Amino acid sequence: MSKKLIALCACPMGLAHTFMAAQALEDAAREAGYDEIKIETQGADGIQNRLTAEDIAGADIIIHAIAITPEDSERFEHVDVYEITLQDAIKNPGGTLREIEAMIREEHQK
């Protein structure tokens, strides 16, 4: 069964930390067995790799690794979004992803 993770990474400057977080989450998702991974970045160069309504609707997990309110955030109003810090994404992406997966499993068992 295919697993899809999408994420949005954003910080005020949108330089190093945004892209470090995006890469760390992508690597952790691949390690965790996700087949589809798409990560939008928001920063100094605007929005890159924009997540579409189709991306959002088809995702098993949606993560926001942010230090600011992302642009166009109303796209995510009707879905579960797991918000983490950029530092969590950079320093412990695998552990953070496992925590989110555990929370989702717990919610499904209720």
Query: Domain of 39: which CATH number?
Result: 3.40.50.2300
Is residue 9 part of the annotated active site? The answer reads no
The total of structural domains in the chain comes to: 1
Q: Which residues span the domain enclosing 16?
A: 4-109
Q: Is it the case that residue 59 has pLDDT exceeding 90?
A: yes
- Buried/exposed 100-110: b ≥16 CB within 10 Å, e otherwise: bbeeeeeeeee
Residues in the chain: 110
Q: Which of 5, 11, 65, 66 is catalytic?
A: 11
Q: Average pLDDT over the chain, rounded to whole?
A: 94
Contact 18, 42 (CB under 8 A): yes
Q: Give this prediction's pTM.
A: 0.94
Q: Is it the case that residue 2 has pLDDT exceeding 90?
A: no
39-67 mean pLDDT: 95
Q: Is it the case that residue 31 has pLDDT exceeding 70?
A: yes
Using a pLDDT cut of 70, give the percent of the chain over it: 99
